[in-house]
Chain A
């Protein structure tokens, strides 16, 4: 089975801190994604990557950046954490190809609280 591992289940950070969320997948997938999930808003795409060192903005990239130096690892960076970035963050991966025949495999999420 594909395994997508997010390094932390829970994080508490202070406003203004730089925060790193790490994600590793073990199935050699080309595509990797970062979403946030909020009650009433559903899943929203922050950034995605189709290859090493490539990144594309999703629907809500403001306040975030990403890094993909190795194929299996995709990091989400909150440059200066703010309270409105308190959320559940979900990483996902998929093999190359169109999204209809390459389903997403999600990690179990990191619940980030910014105080």
Chain B
């Protein structure tokens, strides 16, 4: 069983919609959860990280962790065409370098 599962998409939504991006993980020992954003022809960049369960908000972005379900989510409010990118969840703990990435979800915001 893969340690981190993420639907690759593509996920296409109209501008202004609320977007929900999700990952599931298998190792209940994971404590920290990260989201990276990758624009086309660029490297990934850290968007948000959160610890344990609960929500963390940063502007239009909210990261949510449900440890009981081993489920993490990234919500984007009032989505913009500039949010079009691939979003990767990443979890420290597991993998040779201690960081396990999901495969990424390709998000398209239609103007």
Contact = CB atoms under 8 A, between A and B. Distances in A.
B96 A99 contact: no
Given A33-B97, A103-B49, 11 more contacts: A40-B103, A56-B97, A90-B44, A92-B43, A100-B31, A100-B51, A104-B46, A105-B45, A106-B44, A108-B43, A109-B41
Interface of A: 4, 33, 40-43, 45, 48, 56-59, 90, 92, 98-101, 103-109
A43 B97 contact: no
A33 B46 CA distance: 16
A99 B32 CA distance: 9
Q: Which 4 A-B pairs have the closest CB atoms?
A: A106-B43, A42-B103, A100-B32, A100-B92
B interface, size bucket: 20 to 34
B88 interface: yes
Interface string B94-107: 01111101111000
Residue of A45, A92, A99 ringed by the most chain B CB atoms within 10 A: A99
B104 A99 contact: no
B97 A58 contact: yes
7 contacts: A45-B97, A100-B32, A100-B49, A101-B32, A103-B49, A107-B43, A109-B43
